[in-house]
Structure 1
Amino acid sequence: MDYGSVRIGIAICDPDRILASPLCVHEVTQPDAGGYEVDEEYFRQIAKEERVSAWVVGLPIHCDGGESDKSVQARKFASWLMRVTELPTRLFDERFTTVAANQRIRQSKTTRKKTKKRIDAIAAQVLLESFMEACHYRDEIAGVAADEPAKESTNESLTD
């Protein structure tokens, strides 16, 4: 999932975890009044219909590895999603997924209006592909569990 406070891009993969595809973009019902939490049934229904076994939520990380307010929001969403769907949920570094999604869309012949509607789902697809590749490469589950606390960033000086 490419989490956003207004739109959430959702991608899905096959049971063998080989091919990822964009599924949809969910418009948050009440972005100004609690956001995604009123959409609890929507996410439960997707989990059921698509036979989801686990979730991967993009974690926005700065280029220097630090986290931001958006990271805190993504962590909160992932924890909530894990709780309401009772499915394992991982957070995975989403740096550059939107850039890669924009490149893919530019290469296709889609209208600007369709592009705006699909970019979050394509970003979720890129995220899921990166996650699956990292799992395969490392031979272990990539990312961090949604219920794992954020690491404290250290700003130690390089000089003594």
Structure 2
Amino acid sequence: MQTIDSISKSEDKISIEKDSIEGASSIASESGNNISISEESIPTSGVLIGLDYGEVRTGVAFCDYNQELAIPNGVYGPKKFIVDIVLQLIKERDVVGVIIGWPLNMKGEEAFQCKETQKFIDNLQKSWKGPIVKRDERCTSSYVSSMYSGGHKLETDDALSAMTILESFIGRKK
């Protein structure tokens, strides 16, 4: 896991304004300052970041400009710096949209972790106004564990989960 002991903020905040956002997704929600975003609000070209947000660490993946291939980037922490870390990654890669795993339980209901994930989204949206789409992440961890890790939990699994979440999003248009 990549860790950061301190983050220094520069005065130039990242801010991407959207003139209008239409529609709503069953996966997206509206709470507090959170904007309801449909999958259609994500541009069809440009780099996307996929996130598997967790209490201890967050897996990150990116797709290429044409949104055809998702590649794991890494696992980041600690949690108290993750918003700043993600903002820096968004800035470095000129990201046009965020796809984040939404941890529903097996019945399709919001699990406890959804509240924590929503807090992270709300904090991210204070500094970045681009589109954020929640994507069902059920079974992602078990899929990654069986496909890539031989059934064992590895540190890289969170980045591979982020890649799988992002792949499920970019694969919807094929």
Same fold (TM over 0.5): yes
Give ranges in structure 2 of 5+ residues lacking alignment: 1-50
Label 1:133 to 1:98 Cα distance change in 2 as closer, same or farther (>3 A). Answer: same
AA at the equivalent of 1:15? Y
AA at the equivalent of 1:66? E
AA at the equivalent of 2:77? E
Are 2:64 and 1:14 aligned?
yes
Aligned to 2:154: 116
More helix per residue: 1
When the two structures are superposed, what TM-score results if normalisation uses the length of structure 2? 0.65
Aligned to 1:98: 141
Taking the aligned partners of 1:41 and 1:98, their CA distance within structure 2 comes to 25
AA at the equivalent of 2:144? A
Give ranges in structure 1 of 5+ residues lacking alignment: 29-34, 138-160
When the two structures are superposed, what TM-score results if normalisation uses the length of structure 1? 0.70
Quote the sequence identity (%).
29
Taking the aligned partners of 1:61 and 1:54, their CA distance within structure 2 comes to 21
Taking the aligned partners of 2:160 and 2:56, their CA distance within structure 1 comes to 16
Alignment coverage as a number of residue pairs:
123
How far apart are 1:91 and its partner, in Å? 0.7
Moved over 6 A (4+): none
Aligned to 1:142: none
Taking the aligned partners of 1:83 and 1:60, their CA distance within structure 2 comes to 22
How far apart are 1:95 and its partner, in Å? 0.5
How far apart are 1:40 and its partner, in Å? 3.7
Label 1:106 to 1:96 Cα distance change in 2 as closer, same or farther (>3 A). Answer: same
1:40–1:84 CA contact under 8 A, matched in 2: no
Taking the aligned partners of 1:39 and 1:20, their CA distance within structure 2 comes to 21
Q: Deviations over 1:14-60 (max 9, x none)?
A: 011100010110022xxxxxx43x44432221011122111111001
Taking the aligned partners of 1:125 and 1:71, their CA distance within structure 2 comes to 19
How far apart are 1:74 and its partner, in Å? 1.2
Q: Output the aligned Cα RMSD.
A: 1.8
2:52–2:101 CA contact under 8 A, matched in 1: yes
Matches within 5 A, 1:128-143: 128-134=166-172, 136=173
Taking the aligned partners of 2:69 and 2:125, their CA distance within structure 1 comes to 23
Are 2:165 and 1:127 aligned?
yes
1:9–1:24 CA contact under 8 A, matched in 2: yes
1:10–1:26 CA contact under 8 A, matched in 2: yes
Taking the aligned partners of 1:101 and 1:39, their CA distance within structure 2 comes to 22
Question: Highest CA radius of gyration, 1 or 2?
Answer: 1
